[in-house]
Structures are given as structure tokens and as C-alpha cells.
Structure 1
Amino acid sequence: MYDIPILSIKDKVSDVEWQTRVELAAAYRLFVMHGWDDLIHTHISARIPGTEDLLINAFGLSFDEITASNLVKIDIEGNIVDPHTPFNINPAGFTIHSAVHEARPDDQCALHVHTDATVAIASLKEGLLPLSQYSMFALASMSYHDYEGLAVNHEEKLRLQDDLGDANFMLLRNHGALTMGKTIGDAFMHMYDLTRACQIQLQIQSTGQKYHLVDQSIVDGIKAQANVVHSGLTGGQKAWPAMMRRVKQRYPDFDI
């Protein structure tokens, strides 16, 4: 009941798949380190480069139990195609991920959270405001999706895809947040910025004082700058190796 099967499949998968597994397992551990996990709920999914297959967490494991080997390989419909796993996934929780991966085949990673700050800002009529530099990065590529209950039907998938468009940041009204990335590192950096933006906005609004919104012309200018800051070696990929080292120090066994 309490024992978790210990898997070691490094020698049973391709080098590309193994690297994706290691980086995705690191992202799950970073969720714990940043307080973004939600018991066994929410997900991070990543496409294995050169394939249509995805990796996602085994349902029932906490995020500090996720390893490279116990991630589950599935197809875009959520069917398990992993001959090595004894685990299952949460089909309902995968609905959002299947929708965005289907709509964005060039993006490798999708992160979804239910943090207090993102749920709070997503539930405000005005949504995210241009109050901090972190919010500028998010507003450079922001979208919204209205709450429709548990995301389990095909019709909502289509609306979710429509609302996402080519944005890298999404606030799910009354629900949480989603970020996309060309790499796992980019998707993580996007969520870091969005989470900080939401936290700072709540702190500012909690003072009850009047606040200063950044002028729209500056917001528009930062949009162009953000495309440079958050891509390639100047974005997630520059910070990502340091994040991997941080995970290795805290959780030496994440990459088994």
C-alpha cells in the first residue's frame, strides 16, 4: 500500500527520451521546491523530441516521488504506450494537456498549476495587470480561458485551443495557470515569471493604496524585448542548467 515500485529504465529507452525524462522529473521536483505542487494533482507534460509521444506523472505519486524512470509515456489521446510502467495516469487531468499539445506541436512542454496566487489573479475580472516587470513578461504573450467545470469534454478542448492561440501564458479563470515552452526550461521560466507577477500584484492590491499601472506603450515595447529575453540562451535555457543543479543537490535520486 505504501511502497512505490522502484524502476530503472535508462538502458531501455533512447538517449533523447532519457534526457527528456530527467529534465521533466527535475521540473516536478522544482514544483515542490517552489510550493507549486497540489498534493497529487496538476501536471507537467513534455513531448519526447522526434516523436508524438508525451511523458507525464504517474497518478497517485506526490511530486517529490517523481523520478525519470517512473514518468509514464502516453500518446496524444492519453493512452499509455509505456511497456515498462506499472502506473496509471489521471485521464481527466490530462484533458488540458492533450488539448494544448495537439494545438501546439512545436512546443515541448506544458505546465499547469493551482497555486493560490494564480487562482486569485485568474479569478479577478481585470486579470493580470502591468504592475511589475514580471507581469510585463507574461503580458507579452497572455491568454485567458473561462471556467467551464472539470475539463473533460471535447467541446471545451476546442475552446481551450482557440483561447490559447500562440500565447505562452494562460490564466484559467477560477482555476489556475498554464504555460507553454519550446523546451522544459522555457516553460518553467514562463511559470516562474507568471507566478511572481501574480504574487506581486496581490501584495500591491492588499495595501489598499492606489497603484501605478505601466503605460501601454511601454508594455508593448517590452513585448518585443520579452521575445528575446525568454528564448534561446538568454531565456529558460540559460537558467535551466542552474535549476537542474539545484534539484540534484536537494534530490540526488530524481534522475534514476
Structure 2
Amino acid sequence: METQAGRVAVPSVRDKVSAEEWAMRVDLAACYRIVAHYGWDDLVFTHFSARVPGGGHHFLINPYGLLFEEVTASSLVKVDLKGEKVMESPFAVNPAGFVIHSAIHAARDDAHCVMHVHTSAGVAVSCQKEGLRPISQQSIFVLSSLGYHDYEGVALNEAEKPRLTADFGGNTFLILRNHGLLIAGPSVADAFLAMFVLQRACEIQVMAQSGGGTLIPIPQPILDGARAQSAEVTRGLGGALAWPGILRKLDRLDPSYRT
């Protein structure tokens, strides 16, 4: 692996992939960069994946060993459902990462992007028996589509896959108990927005609990209407409402994710 001026030198693959795949690569690389910007990364651990457009079963995932702030469109590794490379790359893939991601991608055609993080607030809430509580506006959107999966150790066991997917079901959000947070979305933009809301809900819960007072639960009728309210708030655009602004932010900070 060569470096140039403190950067990992990765040859461009733009001319070797379709325009649709390149666009997905740029979005997924941007997702890694914005997560690093918010401080949700965990050195080189955790992972986000995206289905390569075109109807096949090929996926993009981070090169194992690169910091999230170093990920670029060209450095993303293209693999099949077995985690085997289908395009030449000098990088390896996190085996635990792909056990989780391949299970969800295989089980759900709607899961075009899967995100997994180990944030402090997310892990803290995942350790609580009650899980995420209905105490904030952010939490109501999560609770309308949330599952839980009990901890089974580091995700290296293929036998865990059916239990993971059964616990996830058709939900957008999954809290991995004693472990972290997981999102499945129809696009990178949707997955990121979902993770942003879940992470913020966890942060608020931990901060509210630290105050020591009695927490005020949100009434069930409000929780029941959250899904419709979410669509109204985003004008039906979902993550696409905020994603262009995120890309502009990254372009101001460091546009090298596009290479």
C-alpha cells in the first residue's frame, strides 16, 4: 500500500465501473467521511455496505485497515454474498462486518445500504434492559420501526444470520444488544438519515438519564402517528432532503472522497 503526502494512494476505478456504480461508490465513501466527521467511527472497525446497482448480488464495503476519513470511491471493495472479491483490490474485508451485512442484504431486497456503528451513546443504550425509551421527538421516529437482537459474541458465526435477520424483520432500525446500532435503508442517503436520528435519540436518552430526574414518556397515540409524520417532515424525500447539503459540506472539508 503506497502513501503520498499522508494519503493512501489508490488507483481510480472510475473507468472500470458503470456510471451507476460510480455514483453509489461516491455516496458510500461520503457516508464514511461524514460519520468520521461526526465522531461515530471506531478506528477501522464497524462498516457500511451498499448494493451495486444493476440487479446482481455484488456489494461495496470499506477496505479493512483504512480509517473512515481515508475511504474513497475507488478504495471501496466489491464483493459477492460470500464476501469474496469480484474486482481486484489491494484491501481485505472485515470478516465480522460481512457476516452481518451479507445476512441482511441476502434477506432483504430493500436493503440497498446497511450501516453499523459502535458509538458510545448507541452502545450505552444497547446495554439497557429497556432499550430506547420514548422520551424525545427523535425517539418516536425510531420506535415506529425498531427491533432488537441479543448479543452472541463477535459476529463471526454464520449460524447467527437467521436469528439476526428474524430479529431485524422489515424494520429500519436494529439495536444490537451490548454491541451497537444497525440500519437498513433503500439508499445511502436514507440509511444515513436514519442513523443520524437513532444516534441522536441515544445521545439524548443518555444525557437525560444523567440528570437524575424522572423522565417524561411520550404518549402512545403520538408514537402511533410517527411514521406518517416522518414522511411529512421530509416532504416525502427521506434522506434525499439532507444528503445534497452533506455532500456540499464534505466538498468544502475535503473532496478527496470522490476519487
Distance 1:121 1:97, change over 3 A: same
Equivalent residue for 1:246, pick from 220, 245, 249: 249
1:93 equivalent in structure 2: 97
Distance 1:160 1:37, change over 3 A: same
**Secondary structure of 1:144 counterpart:** strand
Mapped pair 1:78 → 2:83? yes
8 Å Cα contact 1:56/1:73 also seen in 2: yes
Instruction: Describe the SS at the equivalent of 2:255.
Output: coil
1:121 lines up with 2:139 in the alignment: no
Residue-by-residue CA offset, 1:207-254 (whole Å, 9 max, x unaligned): 000111001111111133235546842x20111111111111111211
2:137 to 126, 133, 137: 133
1:143–1:170: 8 Å Cα contact kept in structure 2?
yes
Superposition pairs for residues 41-60 of structure 1, below 5 Å?
41-50=45-54, 51-60=56-65
Q: Which piece of structure 1 moves more, 133-142 or 2-11?
A: 2-11
Cα deviations by residue, 1:4-37 (Å, 9 ceiling, x for unpaired): 3321111111000100000000000011111110
Which is further off, 162-171 or 214-223? 214-223
**Which residue is 1:19 aligned to?**
23
For 1:249, what is the secondary structure of its paired residue? helix
Distance (whole Å) between structure 2 residues aligned to residue 239 and residue 227 of structure 1? 13
SS at 1:76 equivalent = coil
Aligned residues of 2:234 and 2:241 also touching (Cα < 8 A): no
Aligned to 1:194: 198
Q: Which residue of 2 aligns with 1:146?
A: 150
Q: CA RMSD in A?
A: 1.4
Distance 1:214 1:55 in 2: 39
Contiguous gaps of at least 5 residues in structure 1: none
Output one character per residue of 1:79-126: Cα deviation in whole Å (capped at 9) or x when no partner: 11113x111111122111111111112221001000000000011000
What's the TM-score, normalizing by structure 2?
Answer: 0.94
Match of 1:237 in 2: 240
Partner letter of residue 171 of structure 1?
Answer: I
Aligned mate of 1:157, from 156, 161, 175: 161
Name the CA distance, whole Å, in 1 between partners of 2:87 and 2:235: 32
Q: Distance in 2 between matches of 1:104 and 1:133?
A: 28
Structure 2 counterpart of 1:172, from 167, 170, 176: 176
Amino acid at match of 1:207: G
- The structure 1 residue matched to 2:219, chosen from 215, 221, 242, is 215
Q: 1:229 to 1:47 in 2, by over 3 A?
A: farther
Unaligned runs of 5+ in 2: none
State TM-score, norm by structure 1.
0.95
C-alpha distance in structure 2 between counterparts of 1:229 and 1:14, whole Å: 34
Alignment-mate amino acid for residue 249 of structure 2: R
Deviations 1:117-138 (A, max 9, x none): 0000011000001111110111
Letter in 1 for 2:62: N
Moved over 6 A (4+): none
Q: Is the 8 A contact 1:112 1:176 kept in 2?
A: yes
Does the alignment pair 1:182 with 2:183? no
How many aligned residue pairs are there? 254
Conserved 8 A contact 1:140-1:226: no
What is the Cα deviation at residue 2 of structure 1? 6.9
> Residue 22 of structure 1: SS of its match in structure 2?
helix
User: Is 1:67 equivalent to 2:111 in the alignment?
Assistant: no
**Residue 153 of structure 1: how far off its partner (Å):** 1.4
